[in-house]
Chains A and B, each alone.
Chain A
Amino acid sequence: MFAEQVAAPDPPPPSPTIALDTLMARYDMLSPSELQLFEALMETHLRAVRQPHISFSFRSGVNRRYELVSTRNRKILVKTRQMRRRASAVARAEVSATHSDTTACHRAIADILSSAKFQEGVSVVPKSNQRRLSPRGQALFLTKQQLSQSKWSELRKALCKESGLASREVIRTALRSIAAEPGRQVWTDERGAHLVSLRDALECLLAELVASGQFRECLVPGPDGQPVPHTTTFRPAPELLYEQHSDDVDDKDLCLGLDKSGGGTSTAKLVATTPNQAHPMSRSNSNLLSTMPCDSDDNAELHDMNGPWMDDFQAMLDNGVTVGGKLRAVRLFFMGDLAFLRSFLGHKGASCRRPCVWCLLIGRSGEANAAAAEAHGHIQAIQEAPKMIRTRLHLQRMIYALQDQRNDDLPIPLTSAEHLSIYHPPLFDVDPCQIVVAPLHLTLGVVTVLLRPGVEAAAFNGGRAAAERAAATVAAALLDDVRVRPVPYHGVCFAGRECHRISQLGAAACDALDGHIPAEELAALRTAWVE
């Protein structure tokens, strides 16, 4: 008798949940045969559940939605009309799912269905990211990219009507409707072309900044260096004389400036910038208020061109502007190059007795100026701080006293102690501390100044020949190492971005001067460039 061997029972199969978890965890290491099994499982699952759509999120952040479109009971031979109907039906389904444009979808779907006539398989149609800009959006795009309307038409013609690009007539209508919005309306008079309302333009800009979340507060530092928060609501009092609001009042900053330029007929551009935003120095973030053909930007011309605007500025200071439904005070700054600031304030000029538009220091020498220089300081005593700053009150007095003195030929009816080098009526009684010190022009000026002393030191120590050698070496270093070149205007000098580049790589100019000037002077120059 033999003992009957009884086979041990098979272990129970793992739970499907555990098996699926294991499969998912090991997905990256599956062999091709295992992947085939996995695909078979997926097929069985999809046949069983018959999902109307599949959504998938890719790692790149793109979400795709795939919808099942049945082609059963359809003939293999599809005629043009039927094909059009099919494409329209699928396009309608896609539009309802993705809110994309029918015309834009139709062409892609027609192409896919046409190819499907000749080959079997699955067609995959992306169901999202087919966005079509509205005519208004297209008009804004055209303007932003500075495309002409004829170029737009050519583009539309090349891409066909199904591209979704609006016709030139539609674009023109959209542009007209944008241009008719408050804050963007323009009118012309004999002075030039201007925005209709400064307040509307500013409030429109601020509303857009607030809506896009780009508005930022400009808090003024207090005596301790910490920003003073806005805790007081602005209450306009137009019946009282205007006074600058305190630092804790809700406000917004506004910079106004004027620049004259242009080949052919010169034009002066009145521009407002808003520091209450990111990138305030971008041209697209600034407001062009007015463009006026002009011959010069002296004080008399400025009065003719900008006089009417000054009432608008004063009204805005008195009444404030609305930002996000809240009234705010306006802190007004004036900016521009020094020539504009002088003309704006009616100042005599850089070579007059008191050459600074911010303070009262003396720019001339001699016995006649000694007492004044003692009292107010001298421009060449640069280490001494200015002893007296100009005031808004003085500008107000000058506006009143010189309002009829536009004629340069007539003698000024004030003593030098009264006019303080303000020879013409100022356009506006701005607080001098709110006249911006022209940082861009200071940068350009400082770079020009710093390129001088090296060559001058060579001339001082070795005469003309040494100066020529030093200048040639510096020029070669600037060209080869700093890679800048002078502009042909402004008397052949460096301008704009070249100055910024020189200021960053100024050490190259110093290195070039090694051996041309004494070591002490070279060391001082190096220190200045480093600063």
Chain B
Amino acid sequence: MVRILNRAQEIPAEGITDFCTSVQRFAPALLVAFPWLSASSKLHALTHHAPAFLRRFGSLGSYAEQALESWPVFFNHARAQCMADFFLGSCAQLVQRAAVERRPLAEQSLSTGTTRKLAPAGARKPKSPADGRLRANKSNSRQKTAGAGKERADMEAWAARRATKAVVTIEANKKRLTKAAERATAAAD
């Protein structure tokens, strides 16, 4: 489902059918199994409007907001090189730079016609559990004591927050059910 949601290509008819079936099964099954969950706007859009858009235009990822969301990274990176005396001047330089850097022109002008050949199938796969190509065997910042400690602390903070929220959600749901039962009793009386 997520793959079709984000693929910036035309989706074949079978893919569209599979996506619609999966999406229509997904949310109702989840809400039945976990009755305290409520349908959010995003869940509603995914269940009903994403399939409609996909059926109408044949793709979701081609129309997505991924490119839009990647512009802040460009701004953060290029801001140091686009300094001006006033902020709007800096903005103008950034817009100008983005216009010059736009791909078809730069790509076409700089292309030499040579492309890297694809590696044969399976050539880049790890051969043994100790292979350096496995992420677990890479020596990067994660292996450093401070980096690993920070990551673990972040995850523990996330877990503590998640647990607190879960308890609040369940308590609120219990209260809601109790009130509903009381209302039903009152209505019956």
Cα A285 to Cα B106 with chains together (Å) = 11
Cα A211 to Cα B108 with chains together (Å) = 9
A441 close to B106 (CB less than 8 A): no
- CB-CB under 8 A from A209, the residues of chain B are 104
Q: Which of B1-40 contact A (CB under 8 A)?
A: 1-2, 5-6, 8, 10, 13, 16, 22-34, 36-40
Range class of the B interface residue count:
35 or more
Q: Say whether B151 faces chain A, with CB atoms less than 8 Å apart.
A: yes
Known contacts A225-B13, A439-B6, A453-B30; A192/B91 CB under 8 A: yes
Interface segment among A160-168, A212-220, A236-244, A410-418: the answer is: A212-220
Query: Dominant SS at the B interface?
Result: helix
- CB-CB under 8 A from B169, the residues of chain A are 452, 456, 459
- CB-CB under 8 A from B61, the residues of chain A are 281, 439
- CB-CB under 8 A from B13, the residues of chain A are 221, 225
- CB-CB under 8 A from A472, the residues of chain B are 156, 159, 163
A453 close to B37 (CB less than 8 A): yes
A385 close to B48 (CB less than 8 A): yes
Q: Say whether A370 faces chain B, with CB atoms less than 8 Å apart.
A: no
Interface segment among A28-36, A110-118, A315-323, A476-484: the answer is: A476-484
B39 close to A382 (CB less than 8 A): yes
Which residue of A438, A456, A476 is within 8 Å of B65 (Cβ)?
A: A438
B34 close to A453 (CB less than 8 A): yes
Residue count of chain A within 8 Å CB distance of chain B: 132
- CB-CB under 8 A from B2, the residues of chain A are 443, 446, 500, 503-504
Q: Say whether A10 faces chain B, with CB atoms less than 8 Å apart.
A: no
State the Cβ distance, A172 to closest chain B Cβ, in Å: 12
- CB-CB under 8 A from A443, the residues of chain B are 2, 5-6
Q: Tell me the nearest residue of chain A to B169, going by C-beta.
A: A456
Query: Dominant SS at the A interface?
Result: mixed
Question: Could you give 8 example pairs across A and B, Cβ below 8 Å?
Answer: A284-B102, A292-B91, A433-B56, A442-B5, A458-B166, A459-B166, A464-B163, A483-B142
- CB-CB under 8 A from B76, the residues of chain A are 262-263
A455 close to B166 (CB less than 8 A): yes
State the Cβ distance, B97 to closest chain A Cβ, in Å: 6
Which residue of B27, B62, B156 is within 8 Å of A382 (Cβ)?
A: B27
- CB-CB under 8 A from A493, the residues of chain B are 158
B162 close to A280 (CB less than 8 A): no
State the Cβ distance, A432 to closest chain B Cβ, in Å: 9
State the Cβ distance, B83 to closest chain A Cβ, in Å: 10
Chain A 487-523 near chain B by CB (<8 Å), digits 1 or 0: 0100111000000100110000000000000001100
Cα A456 to Cα B41 with chains together (Å) = 20
B102 close to A293 (CB less than 8 A): no
Cα A333 to Cα B59 with chains together (Å) = 13
Chain B 103-120 near chain A by CB (<8 Å), digits 1 or 0: 111111110100000000
Which residue of A143, A192, A262, A485 is within 8 Å of B100 (Cβ)?
A: A143
B43 close to A449 (CB less than 8 A): yes
Q: Say whether B181 faces chain A, with CB atoms less than 8 Å apart.
A: no
Q: Which residue of A211, A273, A500 has the most chain B CB atoms within 10 A of its CB atom?
A: A273
